[in-house]
A and B are shown apart, each in its own frame.
Chain A
Amino acid sequence: MKKLYILFFTFFLLTNCSSKEEEIYTPVPYNLEIPTLFAEKLIAPIIPSDNPLTEEGVALGKKLFFDKILSGDNTQACASCHNPKKAFTDQLQFSAGVQGVFGTRNAMPLFNLAWNFDERFAWDGKEFGLENQALEPVLNPIEMHANWDIVAEKLQQNATYPDLFLFAFGTSKINATLVTKAIAQFERTLISGNSKFDKYLLGETPLTSAEQNGFNVFMDEAKGDCFHCHGSNNNPLWTDNKFHNNGLDATFEDLGFGAVTGDPNDNGKFKSPSIRNLAFTAPYMHDGRFATLEEVINHYSEGLKRSSTIDPLMKRVNEGGVQLSNQDKSDLKAFLLSLSDTEFINNTNFQK
């Protein structure tokens, strides 16, 4: 008789558990559309196993990205400095935070972040992992200047957010970890891979003779020699996501990567940015010192400054650089602009 009760009780427990499980909503896996060239040429993007992309997670991340609720005084969102119409930068040398204080680094554009295989983010590589990166600007006193506990509480008291978190993560209890997971999911969907040059590589459109010569300058070790750091037709990221001193300064006010690693040999090194979407992302360099692409090209051609950590790939430093002809400079610019992806900046999936 006793055994019968135990059996009955166990059966009751099991049926009860299974009905609860059925109530938990399972988010829909997000189908990340990977451009043909990326799929052909590159290893798989980095998607953490504890934060897979889901429809609900990406949608929540997008809502959060554009929501000023993340800032201390509800005046700024991530999108305030990372505008999708400007390839997710703001075309300012430095950006002002919620209290009007300007930073010292140029807002980085955001795209193809899932292919940053080393997972070091920001100009100086100080943030490891996209989820982790999203924590910092919210706290930074010269950016959004908020407190994560307060942000989480504001979201918790919001009429819609608790349900959105429940659908995305199976819990309506909101915290910083889940907020940054959602934002990171959205950021991983920001893929730019449909520029004119991509279409050229796919055989869909020809290049002008200027663009073609500019590409040759880019790839020629005796001319631009840009490809060692900025990708090639075989690396459609157009960056190595590594840290280099590209000869901007003889001495360093901003140590960059060196301040992060503590190694003086890394002083003055900053991440090589992708050269995609340059038409939308001026000004250039980590401190936005160059307003135009002409200035950038002139820097590599005649403006290099010697320092102890200058990259050995910077050539003819004594002469200031590789001494490109005016024609080559002009053509190089034409090639660089052919990597601009208007479909990306107009993609409604990425707009508010």
Chain B
Amino acid sequence: MKKQPYLLIITLLLFAACTPEKECCVQPEQFEVTLNFTHNWDRLEFTKQDFNELKFTNANGERLSIEKLRYLVSNISLLDAKNHHLIDVGENTGTSISIPNLPEGSYVLSFRFGFSDEDNTDGAYQDLNSVSFNVPEMLGGGYHFMQFDGKYLDTNTEESGFNYHTIRAVDRTDPNNLEFEDTSFEVNLGTIKITNNTEIEIEVNLAEWFKNPNTWNLNELNTVLMPNFEAQKMMSANGKSVFSLGAIN
């Protein structure tokens, strides 16, 4: 009989000791989020297998093919530090970005197409130098945002090459005093709730590069677009409707 009060006290003490410890150490559950970039032409999905054929038609009515497609996204909001990712559809690399250990919660999903001026430092990224994604110093240096090469059927119904390369726009009217305009742009896909391991599809509609708001005429604007200040601004404007949120699983 005498033991019972002691037992009760010890039990109470144990509970009292455990409770605050539990509160201090509870970690929110962590999940893996995978961003999958998928590519389509006005809802018709394509992969590398669809390259090299004149199977796409742009808003201006020009038939075209894709031979090389790689582009840069940076500062994905779900990652803490500054980050950049090269997505190469032809090489099938970078299309899936895994973000481990993301605590349960709601997140704004955003990223930047290309590099902002602040991050667009000439020669600073070894991974991008190694795959020759640089922009010549005469255009201000830094990096391509996208290299999209292919062929289109010109007005003489001959296959001609195009190089739809996007970079930071540069006005070279005075070669000794280059004027720049930051043509990278933020893509905000809204708020995502993460409650378990999640796959998020980011749809990339390539046709948008040619139609909204500027209907692109490949017979006029096909190559040597990097030093073309106005073309770069038009491409940047068209790019803003390229990315959208797809399926979340």
- Which A residues are within 8 Å of any B CB, using their own CB? 40-43, 115, 117, 216, 219-222, 225, 227-229, 231-235, 240, 265, 306, 308-315, 317-318
Contacts and interface: CB of A to CB of B under 8 A. Distances in A.
Given A219-B136, A221-B223, A265-B51, 11 more contacts: A42-B126, A117-B130, A221-B227, A227-B132, A227-B134, A231-B132, A234-B129, A235-B130, A240-B132, A265-B52, A317-B160
B19 to A, nearest CB: 50
Interface in B132-151: 132, 134, 136-138, 147, 149-151
User: Which residue of B126, B149, B162 has the most chain A CB atoms within 10 A of its CB atom?
Assistant: B126
Interface of B: 51-52, 67-68, 122-123, 126-127, 129-132, 134, 136-138, 147, 149-151, 158-163, 223-224, 226-227
Nearest to A312: B161
A313 B134 contact: no
Q: Is the interface of B mostly helix, strand, loop or mixed?
A: mixed
Contacts of A312: 67-68, 149-151, 161-163
B226 A221 contact: yes
B127 A43 contact: yes
Contacts of A310: 161
Contact of A234 (B134, B150, B158, B223): B134
A41 B161 contact: no
Nearest to A118: B91
Given A312-B163, A313-B149, A315-B161, A41 B129 contact: yes
Contacts of B131: 117, 240
Contact of A232 (B134, B159, B162): B134
Given A43-B130, A312-B163, A219 B67 contact: no
A234 B121 CA distance: 12
A315 B223 contact: yes
B161 A220 contact: no
A190 to B, nearest CB: 19
A232 B130 contact: no
Contacts of B123: 40-41, 233-234
Nearest to B134: A234
Contacts of A219: 136-138
A235 B134 contact: yes
B163 A313 contact: yes
Which 5 residue pairs across A and B have the least CB separation, nearest first?
A312-B161, A219-B136, A265-B52, A312-B149, A234-B123
A115 B130 CA distance: 9
A217 B172 CA distance: 16
A318 B231 CA distance: 23
A41 B129 CA distance: 6
Nearest to B126: A43
A322 B107 CA distance: 50
Nearest to A227: B136
